[in-house]
Amino acid sequence: MDASLLQKLNEDLKQSMRDKTELKTSTIRLLISAIRYAEMKKQDAEFNKHPDADLKQISMSDADILGVIAKEIKQREDSMTAYKAGNRQDLVDKESAEMVILKAYMPQQMSREDIVSEVKAVIAEVGAKGPSDKGKVMGKLVAKLKGKADGKIINDVVTEMLGAI
């Protein structure tokens, strides 16, 4: 795993344990566990591609870790929706507090205007001519903006801009 973001998570975990902040400690532990699980899945996928290769430990980049954090945030949002429907405000509050902790590790999200300019650049780069080229554009954009922008917003902007071509 990449040292910088994971190292920060481990340091924050130790500090939250010292401070006896149970919610932060449990949230960071769950996040580190999710990162390790994603790392194992990545290792397995690589091994399945090249079973004869002598694979060293595959590390997670900061971008990969940000993807895991974004997934965890999305899970909290989905849980909050379900808990609101079930009238469980106590669980909504807990999920919301965990989400705040997780969002602290994410970079500042891009504005819609910044996403639009990135979409224009990628459309020009791949030579997209209409909605049928959405896959090419999305593939490059999602990799480029991982952790920096919400995938739904990226999708909406791409659909809108390719529809106007």
Q: Mean pLDDT, to the nearest integer, of 114-137?
A: 89
In this predicted model, what pLDDT tens digit does every residue of 39-85 receive, in sequence order?
Answer: 888 888 777 777 666 656 677 888 888 889 989 999 999 999 999 99
Lowest mean pLDDT among 52-61, 84-93, 103-112, 144-153: 52-61
For residue 33, which of 55, 56, 48, 13 has the smallest C-alpha distance? 13
- Cβ proximity of 150 and 115 under 8 Å: no
In this predicted model, what pLDDT tens digit does every residue of 31-40 receive, in sequence order?
Answer: 999 999 998 8
| pLDDT for res 21 | 94
> Which tokens hold the place of 68?
């895991």
- DSSP letter for each residue of 8-22: HHHHHHHHHHHHT-H
Interatomic CA distance for residues 91 and 96, integer angstroms = 8
Question: The pTM is what?
Answer: 0.72
Q: Cβ–Cβ contacts within 10 Å for residue 14, how many?
A: 12
**Percent of the chain having pLDDT more than 70?**
93
Question: pLDDT grade, residue 1 (50/70/90)?
Answer: very low
Give alpha helix (H) positions in the chain: 3-19, 22-49, 62-85, 89-103, 112-126, 134-145, 151-163
Domains and CATH numbers, the chain: 3-103 (1.10.1510.10), 112-163 (1.10.10.410)
